[in-house]
Structure 1
Amino acid sequence: MSETVFMEDLPLRKFHFRVVLAGGGGQFSDGFILGIIGIAVSIAAKPMHLDAMWLGLIAAAALAGIFLGSICTGPFADRFGRRGIFAYDMIAFAAISAAQYFVTAPWQLLVFRVALGFILGADYAVGKSLVVEYLPRRFRGSMTSMLAVCWGSGYVLSYYIGYLIQSFNPEGWRLMLAVSGIPALLILPLRLGIPESPMWLLKRKREKDAAAIVRETFGSNVVMDNSPAARETTQHTGMSSLFSRGMRRNTFVGCVFFTCQVIPYFALGTFSPRILQALHVGNGFMAAMVYNALLICGTLVGVAIIDRIPRRSFLVTAFYASAAALAALALVNGSAAFTIAAFGVFACILSASTTLEPVYTAELFPTELRATGAGFVIACSRIGSASATFLLPLAVQHIGIKASLLFCVGTLVVGGVICQMLAPETRNKKLAEVANGNEAATRSDGSYYNSTSSAQASD
């Protein structure tokens, strides 16, 4: 008879790669639509009569939609389950992507971009929660960080595809926007075969359903963790629970680290051709392609080290190092080669730290609040990134590129200081053991029990 093993202590199996790939498809689609808009609006600006205001609005529209989608669907997924949204949201994404081909006015494109962002916001909150809840704890960082690689791949590939389309059709911005729906359709069959999260079912007191899924997916010798921390749930699981005594610190840390990462990432990445041209780099589009290739290199570095060093150390070091690289870019009047090199170092460091976004966000919250917490953190980050993306063209126009870059430097420094002071460590712990910043879980009657003594770090 096979030895009984907990689901979180399993070695990696084919299903784990499958669920990561299914979740990664949504991340790839997200990265693609957020990346392609930079080159598409640069081409569409003249025929669509887009001034700086419209450029900022359209570039930020999907980010605003992600805010709405993540904050609205997170509580829904925690109450009614992850699988329904996870399985079918890519159909709507593909349809709206195709509809962008037929826009005739800026406001129409703005509406479609907000709608796409809403769907992706839902997928952010639900997909990351479902993926994390299936993965073994020893591999949770490296496997979940593959979502960031998928996102970065979509973001970078969009530039190459956009550049290719432009080379064949200088007015091909409509096609650039429409092809973003293709990855969503390709990933749909894989998503339809992923069952509901057993951890979520256990929290909803559906132990038999959870056990059945675990048996069918992993085998008869695999069981759920039946400890008090895994079974107990809070009495109230709405948005207000994120600001309770046991959760407010983690909620704050999640919002700060995610927001301070994505403000410079999106603001500088979306308009990288224009920024590099403003820094006197001759071929802005080609230099932006180099920049985006280095983003992928950074995510691969992040995957390689994420389970080898503490989460907190990774966060803090990346914030300070990327701030230093960007400060050098803003303050040193160097050659075009120096500008590209400094921008590339910044891209590598910052994109390496983005591999923490899917796993660390999920680890900050218990199962019954995971989608709600992830959705709220993502929503807060998108307020910052949407505002920065909207304001950057105006800032460059009115205060100059150097001052605009220094604002991004300040954002990174703030993120580093706050994470150094408050960020909890979560690496290699069971999800039930990292339910809040004090490493305690909250009982339904409001009392607390400490689970630190039972934590088994698996290095």
Structure 2
Amino acid sequence: MSNQDIPAGTLGLSPAQPHTRGNAPAHGPVSLDDVPLNRFHVKIAGLTFGAHFTEGFALGTIGYALTSLNRQMPLDTFWTGMIGSSALMGIFLGSLVFGWLSDKLGRQKIFLLSFLIITLAAFAQFYVTSPLELVLLRVLIGFGMGGDFAVGHAILAEFSPRKQRGTLLGSFSVIWTVGYVVANVLGMEYANASPDAWRWLLASAGVPALIVLIARMGTPESPRWLHGKGRVAEAKAIVLKHFGPNVTIDGGDDEHTRLSGGFARLFRKDLIRRTIFNCAFFVCLVIPYFAIYTFLPTILKAIHLNDGSGADFLLNGFLVLGALIGIWLTIKLSRRMFLIGSFAVTCLSLVALSVLPESATLAMIVAFAVFTLTMSAFSNLVGVFPPECFPTEVRACGVGLAIACSRLGSAVGTFLLPLGIAQLGFHATMMVLAAVLLIGMVVSIAWAPETKHLTLNQASGS
């Protein structure tokens, strides 16, 4: 039986024990890409999943906190948009800065530093006295999140076996969505419990952040990054400890590993198409996602679905269900087919919302539900495509740049959404967002690569 034939569909765990914890077949070496899933993989996944829960929770608290906050500190549309988009602006900056630093200095340092920043800034939200202070703190939270998005995707991809990589990376979206929905449910239940309820709601994000920060202490450096930097002995020691003596790191001596990293590398001939694709599809996906779900209460009010019909609970349920379905579809479908088809469905759903009359309550709920289910499902791909498209020496930079572009776009979209609904109306605003999704579909048809069966060492193809 060859290395590629090792059964992995059951995601069975191999024990990880030093030196004899071998997960490789006894008859010969096995690539790090093809080592069976073990407990160490699950631990790394848990550390990144916990981070995504925290990030979804921290972003999800703001929608309902704004309603409570507005009664204590009246906000105009400018400050409403600024607070709603501030974390996204921070993610833009953090993903660029920490993505670059992660490729230069290593994954492990940023893995810890990003969550130290998130924890401190999240708790500090309790004490804000002005909209400006809240904006600055949420920019700081986003700065830490941007770093964690860049390094978290990179480090999990570099440790994950090829056969389970799509499942593990795609699960980021599920865990993020769960955190986001938990925050929404808490907001629905407690945002109006007291005049200061918004303070408790926002600061509560510091609790899971602190847990993740403590759990991450002692995480090893990525052996792929060490190997690419010529620190071969350190890389082999980590592989030996966690995967066994027969496991090897492929690609350490190839042409791409010897090339220098940095953002300029992303725009060389062999990577530029993948760089543009990842930035463009990511932007087109998250603009409607964040614009709509950051201001879900406002949107439901605009279409008269905030009347106790339970539409908000239903849509949050579809967010979780869609994320779970997305994992299954990531396994079953090609990456490319899943992406293009989902752009088409979400685009048509928003077109339907834009043309349906407000009296067609049931039809609008159905269209919104289809949009929510599909958007949540293929959001899994934002955790899969970028780390699979870039080689190790620029993986965090590539992921960071894609995230930065997406968050810049979504910050602009989130800032403009309240103004759009106020000036253009709900239906015209939904049509604009549908156009964004159509652009994403066209870009994906033109440039989306198929990365499902690639090793990370093959991630430099044009």
Q: Give the match for residue 437 of structure 2.
A: 412
State percent identity of aligned pairs: 39
Pick aligned residue for 2:136 from 86, 101, 111: 111
Task: Quote the offset at 1:21 in angstroms.
Answer: 1.0
Q: Give the match for residue 112 of structure 2.
A: 87
Aligned CA distance change for structure 1 residues 244 and 143 (closer, same or farther; 3 Å): same
Stretch of structure 1 that moved more, 370-379 or 158-167:
158-167
Task: Quote the offset at 1:228 in angstroms.
Answer: 4.5
Distance across 2 between alignment mates of 1:227 and 1:71: 26
Query: Is the CA contact 2:251–2:457 (under 8 Å) kept in the aligned structure 1?
Result: no
Distance across 1 between alignment mates of 2:122 and 2:388: 32
Q: Give the match for residue 294 of structure 1.
A: 318
**Amino acid in structure 1 at the alignment position of 2:319:** L
Task: Quote the offset at 1:178 in angstroms.
Answer: 0.2
Aligned CA distance change for structure 1 residues 170 and 293 (closer, same or farther; 3 Å): farther
SS of structure 2 residue aligned to 1:196: coil
Task: Quote the offset at 1:223 in angstroms.
Answer: 2.0
Distance across 1 between alignment mates of 2:245 and 2:253: 22
Tell me whether 1:70 sits opposite 2:70 in the alignment: no
Q: Give the match for residue 245 of structure 1.
A: 269
Tell me whether 1:270 sits opposite 2:262 in the alignment: no
Task: Quote the offset at 1:338 in angstroms.
Answer: 2.3
**Amino acid in structure 2 at the alignment position of 1:133:** E
Task: Quote the offset at 1:224 in angstroms.
Answer: 1.7
Q: Give the match for residue 450 of structure 1.
A: none
Query: Is the CA contact 2:256–2:391 (under 8 Å) kept in the aligned structure 1?
Result: no
Matches within 5 A, 1:206-217: 206-217=231-242
Pick aligned residue for 2:424 from 395, 399, 402: 399
Distance across 1 between alignment mates of 2:263 and 2:402: 11
Aligned CA distance change for structure 1 residues 219 and 289 (closer, same or farther; 3 Å): same
Q: Give the match for residue 22 of structure 2.
A: none
Task: Quote the offset at 1:227 in angstroms.
Answer: 6.4
Q: In structure 1, list runs of 5 or more residues that go unmatched.
A: 438-459
Pick aligned residue for 2:83 from 47, 58, 78: 58
Query: What is the Cα-based RMSD across aligned positions, in Å?
Result: 1.6
Tell me whether 1:220 sits opposite 2:239 in the alignment: no
Aligned CA distance change for structure 1 residues 205 and 12 (closer, same or farther; 3 Å): same
Tell me whether 1:27 sits opposite 2:37 in the alignment: no
Distance across 1 between alignment mates of 2:251 and 2:349: 47
Distance across 1 between alignment mates of 2:251 and 2:143: 36
**Amino acid in structure 1 at the alignment position of 2:407:** R
Task: Quote the offset at 1:358 in angstroms.
Answer: 1.1
**Amino acid in structure 2 at the alignment position of 1:158:** A
Query: Is the CA contact 2:68–2:192 (under 8 Å) kept in the aligned structure 1?
Result: no
Tell me whether 1:203 sits opposite 2:203 in the alignment: no
Task: Quote the offset at 1:24 in angstroms.
Answer: 1.2
Query: Is the CA contact 2:32–2:161 (under 8 Å) kept in the aligned structure 1?
Result: yes
Number of residue pairs matched by the alignment: 436
Distance across 2 between alignment mates of 1:309 and 1:209: 37
**Amino acid in structure 2 at the alignment position of 1:99:** A
**TM-score of the superposed pair, with normalisation by structure 2:** 0.91
CA deviation profile, 1:331-372 (whole Å, cap 9, x unmatched): 122532322221111011011111111121111111000001
SS of structure 1 residue aligned to 2:444: helix
Distance across 2 between alignment mates of 1:42 and 1:234: 53
Distance across 1 between alignment mates of 2:344 and 2:330: 17
Task: Quote the offset at 1:282 in angstroms.
Answer: 3.4
SS of structure 1 residue aligned to 2:453: coil
**Amino acid in structure 2 at the alignment position of 1:309:** L
Distance across 2 between alignment mates of 1:54 and 1:163: 22
Task: Quote the offset at 1:289 in angstroms.
Answer: 2.9
Query: Is the CA contact 1:78–1:368 (under 8 Å) kept in the aligned structure 2?
Result: yes
Q: Give the match for residue 261 of structure 1.
A: 285
CA deviation profile, 1:365-391 (whole Å, cap 9, x unmatched): 110000011111111011110000000
Tell me whether 1:41 sits opposite 2:75 in the alignment: no
**Amino acid in structure 1 at the alignment position of 2:324:** L
Distance across 1 between alignment mates of 2:170 and 2:85: 25
Pick aligned residue for 1:190 from 204, 207, 215: 215
Q: Give the match for residue 316 of structure 1.
A: 340
**Amino acid in structure 1 at the alignment position of 2:157:** V
**TM-score of the superposed pair, with normalisation by structure 1:** 0.92
